[in-house]
Amino acid sequence: MGRMLDKYRGQIGYKTADVIYRLVKRARLPRNRKVYEPGAIEIALDKVPGWRGPKDKPISMLNFFLIRDESSDAEIGRFLFNDQQSFSNPKLLPECVVEREVGEQEIYPIRIPVRNEIMRFYTKFLDKICEERDDPTTYGETVHADADAIYHTIDRLMSGKRIAVSKLKDPKYKDRIKANIDNPDKLAEILRDSAREEEVVAEARRIAEACKFNPDYAEEFVRWMMDVTLRIVEVEYLRQRLDFKG
């Protein structure tokens, strides 16, 4: 079971690196605050085919792009797989229109609420890495870069579900997990691997330096991702998993 845990930890390492590369790309663009402000950029929602959200409520350009982009993923069945989770509200996304073979799934259909946490931290983080100016000619590039960074971030966070399942099966963890399932703080303490976290941080700093990106910023973002993965995704997934009523 330890090998499986090591495998998933290795995958998280790759996903962490992917996030840093996306932050480097986003840092090359202006801050462009208007793309995050609902109604700041006019969007004719009444002319959008298949739009499932309110047509008379302002939406930001970024959220509009995320919903439209993830709609394509929903249509080809990405979110039929329980280890995948959309950033956008599932109610705003279409049903799968492609016949997919899903098979038996180890991950339970448990949705972990991380959207607000991501947007709160990510938009503040942009203040540190982006030049404070507005350039309408780069709005399209901006929302593409933001969406790419957000998708890789949530993908990295949701890897915590597989880590949680691996630990639940591991004799080293499973009894302590079950004994402390009603104590989130204690559960997080049991699940934490401080040595592994420092390895991930060190690698993140090396990647950032190679990309000429401030390694302190890379470390800050990575430590935040590790905290959310552990404190919210792993802990909440296990708590719901052991009390699953679906």
CA 186 – CA 191 distance, rounded (Å): 9
Domain ranges of the chain: 2-241
CATH topology of domain 2-241: Chorismate Mutase, subunit A (1.10.590)
Mean pLDDT by 10 residues, the chain (246 residues): 61 90 98 98 95 94 98 97 96 96 94 97 98 98 98 96 92 93 95 93 97 98 97 96 71
CA 185 – CA 202 distance, rounded (Å): 26
- What pTM value is reported for the model? 0.93
Structure tokens that stand for 48 in this block: 């959008």
CA 56 – CA 34 distance, rounded (Å): 19
